């Protein structure tokens, strides 16, 4: 089984990350304008903060696509923070299950897909299963000049 080059994995992660950020950015105005219907106000602030945080994925995804090494490091940090906060949200909703009832389940259902995406992207970025591609252009150039002599 051949290994996938690291750059191809980074391009995939960049596309998924940019799509994730774009989706959050598109939905951000509706999060501000949606009426609060029997929902606790601090949960609304948490949803808005999560949407703003998720929309930051768009510029990070574009930076990864361009090839920025710093963007890859920031993306790993971003995904770990998102993962820890998401786990805390899910645990908090299970604890508040008796207070919120079915709304807790609805919130968990809205957070769980993003958590799955976060886990997959973290696995792609942190896995050692992908190979580094050697810089063949320098080797080919050196070999080409040697054969011309």
- Residue 89: the pLDDT is 79
Q: For the chain, what are the domain ranges?
A: 6-148
- Residue 144: pLDDT band with limits 50, 70, 90: very low
Instruction: Give residues with Cβ within 8 angstroms of 78, minimum separation 6.
Output: 56, 57, 60
Taking only the tens place, the pLDDT of each residue in 12-38 is 888 888 888 888 888 777 766 666 555
Taking only the tens place, the pLDDT of each residue in 95-125 is 777 777 777 777 777 778 888 888 888 888 8
Residues β-bridged to residue 131 = 5
Taking only the tens place, the pLDDT of each residue in 42-82 is 556 666 777 777 788 888 889 988 888 898 889 889 889 98
């Amino acid at each position: 089984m051949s290994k996938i080059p690291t750059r191809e994995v980074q391009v995939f992660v960049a596309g998924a990350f940019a799509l994730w950020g774009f989706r959050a950015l598109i939905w951000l105005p509706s999060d501000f304008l949606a009426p609060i219907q029997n929902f606790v106000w601090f949960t609304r602030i948490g949803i808005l903060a999560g949407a703003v945080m998720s929309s930051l994925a768009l510029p990070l995804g574009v930076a990864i696509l361009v090839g920025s090494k710093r963007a890859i490091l920031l993306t790993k940090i971003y995904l770990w923070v998102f993962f820890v906060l998401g786990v805390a949200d899910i645990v908090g909703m299970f604890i508040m299950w008796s207070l919120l009832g079915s709304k807790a389940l609805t919130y968990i259902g809205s957070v769980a897909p993003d958590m799955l995406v976060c886990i997959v992207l973290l696995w792609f970025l942190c896995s050692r299963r992908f190979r580094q591609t050697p810089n063949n252009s320098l080797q080919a150039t050196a070999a080409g000049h040697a054969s011309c002599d």
